[in-house]
Amino acid sequence: MAAKLGRNDPCWCGSGKKYKTCHEAFDERIAKYAMAGHKVPEHKMIKNADQIAGIRQSAKINIAVLDYIAEHIHEGMSTLEIDRMVYEQTTAMGGMPAPLNYDGYPYSVCTSVNEQVCHGFPSDKVILKEGDIVNVDCSTVLNGYYSDSSRMYCIGKVSPEKQRLVDVTRECVQKGVEEVKPWGFMGDMGQAVHDHAFANGYTVVREIGGHGVGVQFHEDPWISYNSVRGTEMLLVPGMVFTIEPMVNMGKVEIYIDKKNDWEVYTQDGLPSAQWEVTVLVTEDGHEIISW
Ligand code: MF3
Ligand code: CO
């Protein structure tokens, strides 16, 4: 927690109100959890109304781009064509794809096919064929505000096994989202995600997780789905983060392609699926900001 504010000082949240009539009681409530040994959010993880409005605007574009992909993705196209669509649609609406040049990432979007877990490079050599399952992971920055979500797309008729993986992974995210509420814990969400995947015979990737989002692309906290109810960070109104589990049909182990240090695959070569939402903790529950 930042330096202690005087009770009559302007509140740290930027409301212009005095601290004592704004977030003082809120901070005291958080401090009780910290004293009991819980991880608690820092002020910078708590968004104010202006920031939330900015993130919502950014998400409008992100959602529209994923809707556009849903209409235009088809067998026989390359994943590089998806990259072009994402760039063109995002910029046409005034946004920028956040992945482009992020940490040296060379494309506008991640396209991860079948046993690719995440961060798949769009390529003119990857031609979508019937039976493929593809994650398209879109992130938008608009006026400095970030949104992040991804969906699975099934190309033509896919096997019942792959369809079930895609469906269950989506259910995992839904079950995780349902747990998001103020004065709950990140682990409530994480365990709900993990339990549903596990009950269906799947594994949840351990090394890559969700993250705070909004003012930067990737903010603290880092978010695991191999977590336990009642543990991990306390959730409070104004937190914005992603829920984006990668669920493997087979074993949990993954590897990163040494050729580019980005693309992630399952070690056993079995398919992996991922859905991602950006979610806001509200006063009485949650709001899905991008999906
Ligand atoms: N959109 C991904 C996420 O969910 C991030 C991809 S990293 C990038 O966090 F650099 F490739 F953009
Ligand atoms: Co993300």
Q: Which atom of ligand 1 is nearest to the CA of 211?
A: 9
Q: Which ligand is nearest to the CA of 212?
A: 2
Q: Whose CA is nearest to atom 12 of ligand 1?
A: 99
**4 pLDDT above the threshold of 90:** no
The model carries a pTM of 0.97
Compute, in angstroms, the gap from residue 140 CA to the centroid of ligand 2.
11
Pocket of ligand 1 contains residue 119 by CB under 6 Å:
yes
Pocket of ligand 1 contains residue 103 by CB under 6 Å:
yes
Pocket of ligand 1 contains residue 45 by CB under 6 Å:
no
Nearest alpha-carbon partner for 276 in 80, 99, 38, 155? 99
Half-sphere exposure at residue 3, Cβ-oriented, CA atoms within 13 angstroms:
2
- Helix-helix angle 79-92:49-72, to 10 degrees: 140
What is the arithmetic mean of pLDDT over 266-281?
Answer: 98
Q: Which atom of ligand 1 is nearest to the CA of 276?
A: 4
List of residues 6+ apart from 53 with CB closer than 8 A: none
pLDDT of residue 3: 63
Q: Whose CA is nearest to atom 11 of ligand 1?
A: 99
Q: Which atom of ligand 1 is nearest to the CA of 99?
A: 12
Cα separation, 78 vs 88, in Å, equals 16
What is the arithmetic mean of pLDDT over 194-205?
Answer: 98
What is the arithmetic mean of pLDDT over 86-91?
Answer: 98
As a whole number, the mean pLDDT across the chain is: 97
202-217 per-position pLDDT tens digit:
999 999 999 999 999 9
**59 pLDDT above the threshold of 70:** yes
